[in-house]
């Protein structure tokens, strides 16, 4: 798959990133190298590979336990903005 500068600019626009022309060209080359690597992995011959699954493996679940965090000051020490006991975050949906 060929990745060109316009594709990188489109992806950057979706991610709300501002890239210079130089950076877009560099990213296009890097994306192209990554996709070429994935294509080589896709073309690998795996017919002789044997996968050994263990039937007796079961998922381990822990019991959910609720607890009250007493030190509210420590809990919210890294929050930039508080509104009551909630963390206020900027609007991200347009």
pLDDT digits (tens), the chain, 94 positions: 789 999 999 999 999 999 999 999 999 999 999 999 999 988 988 888 888 877 778 888 989 999 888 888 888 888 888 888 788 888 888 6
DSSP-derived 3-state class of residue 83: strand
Q: What's residue 60's pLDDT?
A: 87
Phi, psi of 64 (to 5 degrees): -75, 125
Instruction: Look up the pTM and report it.
Output: 0.49
Spell out the alpha helix ranges (H) of the chain. 5-14, 21-42, 72-75
Phi-psi region of 84 (alpha: psi -120 to 50; beta: other; left: phi over 0): left
Q: What's residue 35's pLDDT?
A: 92
Q: Residue 8: which of 26, 23, 22, 28 has the closest Cα?
A: 28
Q: Find out whether 87 and 81 touch, Cβ atoms under 8 Å.
A: yes
Residue range 5-42 in CATH 1.10.20: yes
């Amino acid at each position: 798959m060929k990745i060109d500068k316009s594709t990188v600019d489109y992806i950057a626009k979706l991610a709300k990133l501002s890239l210079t022309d130089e950076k877009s060209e560099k990213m296009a080359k890097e994306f192209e190298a990554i996709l070429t690597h994935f294509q080589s992995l896709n073309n690998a011959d795996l017919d002789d590979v044997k996968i050994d699954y263990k039937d007796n493996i079961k998922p381990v679940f822990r019991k959910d336990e609720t607890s009250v965090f007493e030190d509210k000051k420590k809990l919210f020490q890294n929050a930039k903005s508080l509104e009551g006991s909630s963390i206020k975050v900027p609007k991200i949906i347009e």
